[in-house]
Amino acid sequence: MGTPGAVLVDSMIVIEAVRTGCWNAISGQRDVVTVEECAEELGRGDSSARGYVRVSEQDIARARVEPVPEQAAAAFRLTYPAADGLDPGERDLLALANSRADEFLLCSCDKAAVVAACASGWLDRVISLEALAAVVGARPHPGLKVQFTEGRMSQWRTSLRLGGSI
């Protein structure tokens, strides 16, 4: 993976990285970026829900939270007609990605976001949380849920490259 520019992450990536204890390693060694909608989602969780993972303000502050300019949001909707069907956090994160001219990686476990990234020509920039953790030398404990693994991401990438769906 080398030393990329920013690593764009969605809410689910932050939650799973916090749950498995690899968030500090990732955010301490990479330029981690998210969008305002994802940061707000992290603070809206239901703490009484089974499996709830508390993401603190300090955890959120370890990422750079960027606004999505209206022009970037509109441009993404024009280039990806299915944008409005995406979760708002992923939609904004992809709009931010679409507006960037620099190198970036996209870390998401959301199928629809991976499909959108593929349609946008960024499939080679999409990485799993497992791959990101490995690059920074973090060992998630407890283990990652399957949707965050490189095995699952590899399956998705292969299917999309072959013209299939995920």
Helix axes 70-79, 88-99, angle to 10 degrees: 100
Could you say which DSSP state residue 154 is in?
H
Return the pLDDT at 46. 82
Q: Is the dihedral of CA 116, 26, 64, 49 positive or negative?
A: positive
The whole-angstrom separation of Cα 14 and Cα 60 is 8
Q: What is the mean pLDDT of the chain?
A: 95
Return the pLDDT at 45. 80
pLDDT > 60? residue 108: yes
Q: Would you place residue 5 in the very low, low, confident or very high pLDDT band (cuts 50, 70, 90)?
A: confident
Return the pLDDT at 4. 64
Return the pLDDT at 57. 96
As given in the structure block, the two tokens for residue 113 are 């976001």
Q: Residues 6 or more apart from 92 whose CB is under 8 A from it?
A: 35, 36, 37, 38, 68, 73
DSSP secondary structure, 14-76, as one string: HHHHHHTT-HHHHHHHS-EEEEHHHHHHHH---TTSTT-----HHHHHTSEEE---HHHHHHH
The whole-angstrom separation of Cα 51 and Cα 54 is 10
Structure pTM? 0.95
Q: pLDDT by residue (tens digit) across 52-105?
A: 999 999 999 999 999 999 999 999 999 999 999 999 999 999 999 999 999 999
